[in-house]
Amino acid sequence: MSSRTALITGAASGIGAAIARQLSMAGYKLILVDRDSEPLQRVCDEMQEAAIQLVLDITDSAAVDSLPTNIDEDFLPINVLVNAAGHDPGGTTRFDLGDPDDWDSAIQTNLIGTMRVTRALLPEMVARNQGDIINIGSIAGIRIMPDMVAYTTSKAGIHAFSDMLRADLQDSSIRVTEILPGLTKTDLIRKRYGGDEQRAQEYYERFKMALDPEDIAQAVEFALSAPQHAVLAQMVILPNNRW
């Protein structure tokens, strides 16, 4: 595994950071991408020389388009792309009461940003006819979540994008996996409520049980370990008290 490199977006915290730690233990070299520089530095420091960081906002189209030219040659080629960046401003709000700017922010990060990063890195994978693309979706992408219109719409888009990308690449050896977690304890909920820790805690308590980011990270490593001729196309992971 030491010759393999993974690029992970949203790597500064939550699921992205957990995936970084899991793949680091598996021997991958890592390119860690996030817009929050200080927490990204802390995660990168854990991996020492086996990781590099790129401070990047995936909604910045010009920066994303130039991404391949800003990667140290020692970390090329990229064998695995993990699209883990996620965003849900505004909280759980009924559609007619929501802020259109929050909708735009969620969809630009969760869906358009994911598509742009994939588009920036995919041509080189196609040229080598090798690579894995892991999209972190959500159970919200296939099941209705009231009062979460923008987030659910963006994750439904990730679901469709993953299926279409897999179809477009059917004549290649590139694998596309979509992982659809249920409720997971990450910073997303706290950030949704503007950093209000109490509201975030109350949200988790409503459901009594939630996944840990490490659960999703283990699923990513499991998907990558499948035989090259097999793809774990979709993995739904739920807390044990959900259905």
Q: What is the CATH number of the domain that holds 130?
A: 3.40.50.720
User: For the chain, how many structural domains are there in total?
Assistant: 1
Confirm whether 151 is a catalytic residue: yes
3-class DSSP assignment, residue 115: helix
Closest CA to 114 of 137, 142, 94: 137
**In this predicted model, what pLDDT tens digit does every residue of 108-143 receive, in sequence order?**
999 999 999 999 999 999 999 999 999 999 999 999
In a domain, 170, yes or no: yes
Find the domain containing 87 and state its range.
5-237
- Specify if 242 maps to a domain: no
Q: Which of 151, 193, 203, 204 is catalytic?
A: 151
Q: Is residue 114 one of the residues assigned to a domain?
A: yes
pLDDT at 143: 93
Whether 243 is covered by a domain: the verdict is no
Average pLDDT over residues 165-179: 98
Residue 2's pLDDT band (cuts 50, 70, 90)? low
Contact 135, 83 (CB under 8 A): yes
Task: Name the 3-class secondary structure at 74.
Answer: helix
Mean pLDDT of the chain: 93
The CB density around residue 47, as the number of other CB atoms within 10 Å, is: 19
